[in-house]
Amino acid sequence: MIDEQHLLNYPIPEIRQVLRWQDVALYNLSVGLGQDPMDKAQLPYTYEPQMTALPSMPVVLGYPGFWLKAPDTGVDWVKVVHGEQSLILHRPVPVSGEIIGRSSVTGIVDRGPGKGALIYSDRVVLDAATGEKIATLESTTFARGDGGFGGKPGPVKPPHPEPKGAPEITCDLATRPEQAAYYRLNGDFNPLHIDPDVATKAGFPRPILHGLCTFGVVCHALLREMCGYDAARFGRMDLRFSSPVYPGETIRTEIWREEGGAAFRARVVERDIVVVSNGRFRFA
């Protein structure tokens, strides 16, 4: 069972990470870039002479690992899923150097017995040489098996409103059947994404794609459609994960232009199920 004060003060380790262009290439490829070898617009994200980090890459930088799996967190880790993710870029993501990641739990909401708990956390990603902020990440984890521990029922972070009417832009990007196996090499080793037995215990018919891999696919769509593959124009994205994606499915990102950016959501084409909702993108 969750001990609220213990979890709010949980000593998530600070992570120092040496970043190489090969790490950037692995991340970019693991979220699906490079599937069309004739698409020259994607070359800066796959080819080392001009290597550029996809703007969503900070989600795997300074990452402390699946720390909620530790027994002393009190969390039923098998039933944990990613609920929401926010990314704020303070500067372009470097392709080499040393990175520092500092993570902390910022809030816990008890939704009640049988209804789970929300765990809010953030991570600041810094350049180790200068101390300059690269990105700020805010996450909501839905601990489906941990409601009823006696905590407060709020405050709950309000989602961005859903857009109305037909989208102005749609972008279909395919995922690969083995994509979760590639994505986990970025450091997210939750067995839910590769072990069929763990997926079954969690209530899924087969391993699901990492929520942050879906995040990267949607980032790719926004980068293509809103920024013309210019990573320097990308400022922020926020979204809510509505349903899991299974590797091999096609993610269709639906976009509504707004002043300063766009609203968006995403659905799996094959099942016509919304997998990302309440999305907002902002230019740098």
Angle at 194 between CA 88 and CA 241, to 5 degrees: 35
CA 41 to CA 224: how far, in whole Å?
9
Q: Which of 23, 110, 188, 238 is catalytic?
A: 188
**In sequence order, what are the beta bridge partners of 265?**
254
**In sequence order, what are the beta bridge partners of 252?**
172, 267
CA dihedral 91, 38, 255, 83 (to 10 degrees): -60
Q: Which of 107, 147, 211, 279 is catalytic?
A: 211
Q: Which of 208, 216, 251, 255 is catalytic?
A: 208
**211 given a catalytic annotation:** yes
CA 192 to CA 180: how far, in whole Å?
10
CA 279 to CA 284: how far, in whole Å?
16
**220 given a catalytic annotation:** no
**100 given a catalytic annotation:** no
Residue closest to 128 by CA, chosen among 40, 15, 279: 15
**194 given a catalytic annotation:** no
Residues annotated catalytic, as ranges: 188, 193, 208, 211
